[in-house]
Amino acid sequence: VVKLVSLMFFQDVQIGDIVLGLPSNGLHTNGYSLARKLLFEVAKYSPETYVNEIKNKVGNELMRTHKSYWPAVRKLIDGQCVVALAHITGGGITENLPRVLPRGTAAVIELGSWPVLPIFEHLQQLGNVPQDEMLRTFNMGMGMLLVVPSAKFKKAQSVLERGGEK
């Protein structure tokens, strides 16, 4: 049984809404070309190379299964806590979040307000990649961004905590 829901993206987003981020567990679906170049060509790692900075073998890190956000998102939708969703894929936060915002609006994202996964820090160091390029290429530890009305923030936070999300 599939339950269809109607979300009124864009027009329901209001000035003062809050952007919440759901953490990623790795690269997910973006940045693999640059990651492979840095890991295999620049660093000369093999898939079996264990890298202390990422506490994993390179191949295992690249093959990490993409986290599903559906359980948390479904609960937030059912609770009418979310007015827009941005899956942080190719284009990173820089290009994906603006797609769900109404024309003429912008969001302020506080860098440093979430832990950046070691793989991203290591890739940035390997290639001396500028921060703006990292944010445009990788999810940087945020796999899904949720736009939540400020009046629903506490409820959304509670729903996420009960569901085991950070």
What's the pLDDT tens digit per position in 130-140? 999 999 999 99
pLDDT on residue 7:
44
- Cβ–Cβ < 8 Å for 93, 109: yes
Distance of CA 109 to the CA centre of its chain: 12
- For 115-157, the pLDDT digits (tens) are 999 999 999 999 999 999 999 999 999 999 999 999 999 999 9
The pTM of this model reads: 0.86
CA–CA distance from 127 to each of 6, 21, 37, 120, 121 (Å)? 43, 26, 9, 11, 10
Beta strands in 2-150 (DSSP E): 18-23, 50-51, 56-57, 84-87, 142-148
- Cβ–Cβ < 8 Å for 147, 109: no
Average pLDDT over residues 2-16: 60
